[in-house]
Amino acid sequence: MTTHRPETDLALAALVREAATAGTSLRIRGAGAWMDAGHPVAASATLDVTAFTGVTAYAPDDLTLSCGAATTLAELEAATRAHGQWCPLLPWGSDTGTVGATLATATTGPFGDRLGRPRQLVLGVRAVDGRGRIVEAGGRVVKNVAGFDLTRAITGSWGTLAVLTHVHLRLRARPTVDETWCVVGADEAALDAFVRGPLAPLGTVALSIEDAAALALPGPGCLLRLGGNAPFVAAARQVVRSLGDASAVDPAVWANVRVRCAPPSRATAWRWDALSLALRAQFDPAGILNPGLLGATR
């Protein structure tokens, strides 16, 4: 299979226009983790977008960052940590995954409910659609939406509307105190009340016997991440200790948890309803981008 590796938006747009004219279908590939893991694409050529990488703008005072879509989550972590910030895009899977794939599949993770899901964290995008047009949506500092929210539409569309090249993201300040606890034998009702209450943890993951053993944790039960200022975490910690047999563990465990404990439905499904088909017809009428993905007929 032929592989194309454009290095600029203009080169990518020209390549897509040529492919649309020739009827050449394209499989969009960054790190390749999603497409190589049960999401086949019936394409005749591969579009390698790994050239679109790196942090291009960072405004710590505004808590915003812009980067190439092929930038890895590990690169975001390295760029923001020095400023006491982080990008809450902490999806299921490895940090070798890319920002583009996370947004394209709208993959969330164990912290999505509290820290934000992809559609809430992306401020804007630049992309090339199936007609070979360079499109920009949203903004760099605030989500600027007038009329149809194209940023939201492209997020979670699995590359069937456009090829992401650059993204603008919302960041968060790192919590002053960040602790992780493993609780064994917690009462489900009490745990549920805590998770839904005013002292809710940043994330919660249920652990099986096999998970606990593989992650070298005290036992099956639940893993909780507490984050915030010192008084808040102190109050939350007191509740956690009352839930069951609670042990503090190294917060670094979450990197392995996100890989091992990923649920089957970790990504948002793209439904081919009337609106989705209308968007496809508008942005990729020839159906050359990731054809056959998620049941697409073309």
User: 78-131, pLDDT tens digit by residue?
Assistant: 999 999 999 999 999 999 999 999 999 999 999 999 999 999 999 999 999 999
- Total domains, the chain: 2
More confident residue, 262 or 230: 230
Q: Are 13 and 128 in contact (CB under 8 A)?
A: yes
Query: Could you tell me the CATH number of the domain that includes residue 220?
Result: 3.30.70
Q: Are 30 and 98 in contact (CB under 8 A)?
A: yes
pLDDT of residue 36: 54
Give the DSSP per-residue string, 196-213: HSTT--SEEEEE-HHHHH
pLDDT of residue 294: 62
Whether residues 80 and 133 share a domain: the answer is: yes
The pLDDT of residue 38 is above 90: no
Q: Phi/psi of residue 21, each to 5°?
A: -65, -40
The band of 143, judged by pLDDT with boundaries at 50, 70 and 90, is: low
Whether residues 64 and 190 share a domain: the answer is: no
Q: Which domain holds residue 252?
A: 177-260
Whether residues 40 and 165 share a domain: the answer is: yes
d(CA 187, CA 53): 46
Whether residues 271 and 248 share a domain: the answer is: no
Whether residues 120 and 167 share a domain: the answer is: yes
Whether residues 59 and 163 share a domain: the answer is: yes
Burial 68-105 (b: 16+ CB within 10 A, else e): bbbbbbebbeebbeeeebbbbbbbbbbbebbbbbbbbb
Strand partners, 168: 66, 124
Whether residues 246 and 275 share a domain: the answer is: no
Whether residues 102 and 200 share a domain: the answer is: no
Q: Are 32 and 97 in contact (CB under 8 A)?
A: no
Whether residues 269 and 255 share a domain: the answer is: no
Query: Could you tell me the CATH number of the domain that includes residue 122?
Result: 3.30.465.10
The band of 55, judged by pLDDT with boundaries at 50, 70 and 90, is: very high
Residue 184 tokens, joined = 């064994």
Residue 36: other Cβ atoms inside 10 A: 10
Taking residues 39-62, what's their average pLDDT?
Answer: 91
Whether residues 121 and 198 share a domain: the answer is: no
Residue 115 tokens, joined = 């820290």
Whether residues 134 and 193 share a domain: the answer is: no
pLDDT of residue 39: 63
pLDDT of residue 138: 84
Whether residues 97 and 230 share a domain: the answer is: no
